[in-house]
């Protein structure tokens, strides 16, 4: 069975109106200048590890510009930097202690366990493959390549489902098409008139996630807008003027 996606002129106008309204928002501006850049700087270990940590923290937690996660991520020096974790005798305990000290981070023990497992996997020989996969996206590539890299992260690391894997790549400014779909996006799509009522709780299922993502890709193609820009505009709409050049992470 197939869904026939019908996108009318009024739908296109609504999307373009949203993009126009949020055009000067800091999040939208950064997404435009970095994710849409013709060439991106190569990903190295330190940057990959930091974004893996940061994006794992956003799962089932408020990730707006002024929340606990954002404050933790902006802490200088970053408590869970690659250098700091490399020096830890007990990685899981070190991560857990840093999260508890920060306060307000939910599921700290589970996150610490998963991140420690991921760190050891990287250190035990996965680094070269992880960096190589990410750097496939240094240049503009078709959506299919972005999806392959996201699925590599999802299949390789603990705690990274369809959303979190795309979160990492978007935070590294690598993706134009594949976006992390969460409740803010599904709420907006439901208000917009997506052909089926969406549930954010079902997004952990890859087939469901891909179905929603396919609909977003078709809508954006019709509107001549990259999904990463629509995603930023939706976040800007939901978070108001909270995003600034200083608190983006």
Specify whether 29 is located in the same domain as 70: no
Specify whether 85 is located in the same domain as 16: no
Specify whether 165 is located in the same domain as 81: yes
pLDDT at 1 over 60: no
Q: Per-residue pLDDT tens for 114-135?
A: 999 999 999 999 999 999 999 9
Specify whether 112 is located in the same domain as 212: no
Specify whether 184 is located in the same domain as 166: no
| Residue at 245 is within a domain | no
Contact 31, 234 (CB under 8 A): no
| Residue 187, SS3 per DSSP | helix
pLDDT at 243 over 80: no
How many domains does the chain fold into?
Answer: 2
pLDDT at 212 over 70: yes
Domain boundary among the residues 171, 190, 215 is at 171
Q: What is the mean pLDDT of the chain?
A: 91
| Residue at 158 is within a domain | yes
Domain with 104, as residue range(s), is 45-171
Q: Per-residue pLDDT tens for 225-238?
A: 999 999 999 999 98
| Residue at 146 is within a domain | yes
| Residue at 4 is within a domain | no
The overall longest dimension of the chain from CA atoms, in Å, is 59
Specify whether 103 is located in the same domain as 145: yes
Q: Per-residue pLDDT tens for 162-198?
A: 999 999 999 999 999 999 999 999 999 999 998 889 9
The CA distance from 151 to 155, in Å, is 6
Q: Per-residue pLDDT tens for 7-32?
A: 999 999 999 999 999 999 999 999 99
Specify whether 159 is located in the same domain as 106: yes
Specify whether 13 is located in the same domain as 86: no
Q: Show the tokens assigned to 176.
A: 């134009």
| Residue at 64 is within a domain | yes
């Amino acid at each position: 069975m197939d869904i026939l996606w019908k996108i009318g002129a009024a739908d296109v106008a609504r999307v373009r109106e949203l993009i126009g309204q949020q055009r000067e928002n800091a999040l939208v501006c950064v997404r435009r200048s970095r994710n849409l850049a013709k060439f991106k700087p190569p990903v190295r270990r330190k940057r990959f590890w930091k974004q893996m940590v940061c994006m794992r923290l956003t799962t089932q937690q408020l990730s707006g510009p002024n929340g606990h996660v954002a404050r933790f991520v902006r802490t200088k020096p970053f408590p869970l930097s690659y250098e700091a974790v490399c020096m830890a005798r007990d990685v899981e305990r070190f991560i857990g202690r840093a999260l508890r000290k920060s306060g307000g981070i939910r599921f700290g023990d589970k996150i610490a366990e998963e991140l420690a497992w991921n760190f050891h996997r990287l250190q035990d020989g996965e680094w070269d493959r992880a960096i190589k996969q990410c750097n496939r996206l240094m240049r503009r590539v078709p959506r299919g390549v972005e999806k392959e890299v996201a699925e590599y992260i999802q299949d390789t690391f603990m705690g990274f489902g369809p959303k979190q894997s795309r979160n990492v790549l978007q935070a590294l400014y690598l993706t134009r098409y594949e976006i992390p779909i969460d409740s803010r996006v599904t709420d907006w799509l439901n208000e917009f008139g997506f052909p089926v009522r969406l549930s954010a709780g079902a997004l952990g299922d890859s087939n469901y996630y891909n179905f929603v993502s396919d609909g977003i890709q078709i809508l954006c193609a019709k509107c001549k807008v990259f999904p990463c820009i629509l995603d930023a505009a939706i976040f800007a709409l939901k978070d108001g003027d909270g995003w600034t050049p200083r608190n983006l992470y």
